Structure 1
Amino acid sequence: MPNNDRLLVQILLLALLGASLWVLAPFWSALFWAAVLAFASWPLMPLLTRLLHGRATTAAALLTFGWMLLVAVPLVLLGVNLADHIRDATNLVKDLQVEGLPPPPQWLAGIPLLGERLVKLWYTIDQQGAAIFASVKPYMGQVGNWLLARSAQIGGGLVELVLSLVLVFFFYRDGPRMATLVRKGLHRLIGERADHYLELVAGTVQRVVNGVIGTAAAQAVLALIGFWIAGVPAALVLGILTFALSLIPMGPPLIWVPATAWLVWHGDYGYAVFLGIWGMFVISGVDNVLKPYLISRGGNLPLVVVLLGVFGGLLAFGFMGLFLGPTLLAVAYSLVSDWIAYEPVSPAAPTQAAEPSDHDKSA
């Protein structure tokens, strides 16, 4: 009967755990990002706590407020600038409908082999502008629906971001207590190897944070410098977009290539050449040097394991995969390595009974 009672208690505990996970399911993304933010900036927490004479709650509140400023101010600037550029784009389309295209630039005719054809195509599009807009108009509704759906996704992402910034306060304040709880739970599950895997997960996440976020920040700063030198408008907005797109493979060229084309369009060929070279060898080139260096620092995992985890996790889980992917591969790699290196101790051979000596036989 006691065994049946124990089994019933275990079933009830599993049901309670499953129900709790179900309740938390809508907040997994926000909880994950709050944990990443707190972990990435955790060295500041004990330092600020000491400066505030042990007031951990105040330190957590100040760090949370710092994150809000760091995230909210660029988002507000980005939203204002995007609204202005959307308004400019709308006015440009209306002007093209009424006045048509401007005269073709002089450099267009100078393109070898294709110059004359491109000029003729330019005038053809200008003459048939009304017909082209009429043919495109039925598809504008689909484009509007697509933009509305993307806007809804962006809005949901902003809500999750705000919730993450609220939850990060509790990770700062209760971080040591949570770490102790996780450590005790893992010790109950896997014994003395728990500390090894905790250090492995923490080290992997820290290396990915340093590599991915650090490289994205470096690319954003370099892009901002290049845009300022070349005189590209809305350089700050483009720098923020470069940071966001740097988190995905081949993301920065989606910003600096159109900016280079814009310079060519306006006849700034010297700055266009500069920005093209700067984007190819500096903005995009730093990704091939800085990211592997930062990810490989201070770890004994093969670099290819971490990089495959970053890119594969990004494809499998979205932005959360930036950290989930390499962490899963690192733990799996360590488990397989431990299993291969494990050598079971062979049981000792039974000792044979010693044969009686001649003295014993004579006795």
Structure 2
Amino acid sequence: MLNNDRLLVQILLLALLGASLWVLAPFWSALFWASVLAFASWPLMRWLTHMLKGRESLAAAILTLCWIVLVAVPLVMLGYNLADHIRDATGLIKNLQVTGLPAPPAWLANVPLVGDRLVSLWITIDQQGAAFFASLRPYFGQVGNWLLERSAQVGGSMLELALSLVLVFFFYRDGPRLAAFARSLLERLIEDRADHYIHLISGTIQRVVNGVIGTAAAQAVLAYIGFLIAGVPGALLLALLTFGASLIMFPPLVWAPAVAWLAWNGEVGMTIFLGIWGVLIISGVDNILKPYLISRGGNLPLVVVLLGVFGGILTFGFMGLFLGPTLLAVAYNLVTDWVAHGQPKFETETGVVIRSTDQPPS
């Protein structure tokens, strides 16, 4: 016979849990990033707490300030850099509408096969500049609306980032208590397998964090080498900006304007070199190094990791870079455990218990 009082309490608890999740829904993204940042640097938090003789709040405040310097400052600088480029491009278009195009650069005629046609097209556009820009005017509004929408999205992301950097302080300070609560909850659900899945989830997230940061660092170094070879001024600053852009998985945001600057200054050879270097080396290393670092040291097949990374990004956005591999890792191990524990056992004459897939002793 059902206990009506107990059933009513369970219903009320579920309703309370659902309402709580509903209240926290606008902050899921910020909570997720704060937990990832805290988890990635937790060994440093323990070391710093030990150095400060157990003062957890002070250690949490110091690490939070470090994250602000390492993450927020490069992204803000990247935003200002992008805004400057947009402003310069807008001013250039207005000047071209008034004065027309300058004389075609000398290197344009030397482009193999199509050099003469490019010069002729340049002169035609210059002669018919007013009509050309008039034909493009209907599209300027669409481009402006698109930029406005993306600016709103970027602004929302920056607010989430700021909230994440505030919340990470509390994850640092209350981390052990939160970890103990998560462990007890998981033990209540799956009992003796709790430790296995805690290590599985933590190991997967740690490898993903290492893959993201390691790939961003490698892309920054490669970008610095390319900028030095091409003679782009401010190579070190651009490399730091590349690191920040790599964290949001869009390094062309930095090296593509450098390629355009070289082309505008008539550096044909270096323009081609930096363009190829950017596409194949700076951006291309992401497709090789990141899956390798994520799969390294784990028991997941590489194809599962690749599907988790790219499928997670397509499904959840940048957050899916962490969610995708973690979900697939848990699902893969759940299925593996279920298959292993579901195999029938029998006992041999010697008393050894073996599974049906094993060969019985002769």
For the aligned pair, the TM-score class normalised by the smaller chain equals: 0.7 to 0.9
Aligned twin of 2:317? 318
Aligned twin of 1:352? none
Aligned twin of 2:104? 104
Residues 212, 307 of structure 1: alpha-carbon distance in 2 compared, 3 angstrom cutoff: farther
Tell me by how many angstroms 1:77 deviates. 2.3
Tell me by how many angstroms 1:16 deviates. 0.3
Q: Is the 8 A contact 2:75 2:245 kept in 1?
A: no
Tell me by how many angstroms 1:241 deviates. 5.4
Aligned twin of 1:48? 48
Select the structure of larger CA radius of gyration: 1
1:195 and 2:195 matched: yes
Aligned twin of 1:139? 139
Q: Is the 8 A contact 2:205 2:322 kept in 1?
A: yes
TM-score (ref. length: structure 2): 0.88
Q: After superposing the two structures, state which structure 1 stretch, 256-265 or 298-307, moved more.
A: 256-265
Q: Is the 8 A contact 1:78 1:237 kept in 2?
A: no
Aligned twin of 1:290? 289
Tell me by how many angstroms 1:343 deviates. 4.2
Q: After superposing the two structures, state which structure 1 stretch, 70-79 or 282-291, moved more.
A: 282-291
C-alpha separation in 2, matches of 1:146 and 1:267: 31
Q: After superposing the two structures, state which structure 1 stretch, 66-75 or 31-40, moved more.
A: 66-75
Aligned twin of 1:161? 161
Letter in 2 for 1:35: S
Aligned twin of 1:329? 328
C-alpha separation in 2, matches of 1:99 and 1:237: 34
Where has structure 1 moved over 4 Å in runs of 4 or more?
A: 233-238, 343-348
Tell me by how many angstroms 1:196 deviates. 0.4
Aligned twin of 1:78? 78
Q: Deviations over 1:192-220 (max 9, x none)?
A: 00110110000001111111221022202
Q: After superposing the two structures, state which structure 1 stretch, 232-241 or 160-169, moved more.
A: 232-241
Tell me by how many angstroms 1:79 deviates. 3.4
Aligned twin of 2:351? none
Letter in 1 for 2:12: L
Tell me by how many angstroms 1:285 deviates. 4.7
TM-score (ref. length: structure 1): 0.87
C-alpha separation in 1, matches of 2:216 and 2:295: 16
Letter in 1 for 2:77: L
C-alpha separation in 2, matches of 1:102 and 1:5: 84
Q: How does 1:253-268 map to 2 (within 5 A)?
A: 255-257=254-256, 259-268=258-267
C-alpha separation in 2, matches of 1:133 and 1:208: 47
Q: Is the 8 A contact 1:204 1:330 kept in 2?
A: yes
Q: After superposing the two structures, state which structure 1 stretch, 126-135 or 212-221, moved more.
A: 212-221
Tell me by how many angstroms 1:273 deviates. 4.6
SS at match of 1:60: helix
Tell me by how many angstroms 1:63 deviates. 0.5
1:120 and 2:120 matched: yes
Q: Is the 8 A contact 1:211 1:292 kept in 2?
A: yes
Tell me by how many angstroms 1:74 deviates. 1.5
Q: Which ranges of structure 2 fall in alignment gaps of 5 or more residues?
A: 348-362
Q: How does 1:270-289 map to 2 (within 5 A)?
A: 270-276=269-275, 278-280=277-279, 282-289=281-288
Tell me by how many angstroms 1:236 deviates. 5.8
Tell me by how many angstroms 1:125 deviates. 0.3
1:129 and 2:134 matched: no
Residues 248, 27 of structure 1: alpha-carbon distance in 2 compared, 3 angstrom cutoff: closer
Letter in 2 for 1:159: L
Q: Deviations over 1:299-348 (max 9, x none)?
A: 11112211210110000001110111000000010011111111456699
Q: Which ranges of structure 1 fall in alignment gaps of 5 or more residues?
A: 349-363
Q: Deviations over 1:114-140 (max 9, x none)?
A: 222221111110011111222222332
Residues 88, 239 of structure 1: alpha-carbon distance in 2 compared, 3 angstrom cutoff: same
SS at match of 2:203: helix
Aligned twin of 1:38? 38
Q: After superposing the two structures, state which structure 1 stretch, 138-147 or 198-207, moved more.
A: 138-147
SS at match of 1:43: helix
Aligned twin of 2:27? 27
Aligned twin of 1:353? none
- The alignment of Structure 1 onto Structure 2 pairs a total of residues equal to 347
SS at match of 2:285: helix
* Aligned-pair identity (%): 74
Aligned twin of 2:149? 149
C-alpha separation in 2, matches of 1:253 and 1:10: 53
Tell me by how many angstroms 1:276 deviates. 4.0
Q: After superposing the two structures, state which structure 1 stretch, 294-303 or 53-62, moved more.
A: 294-303
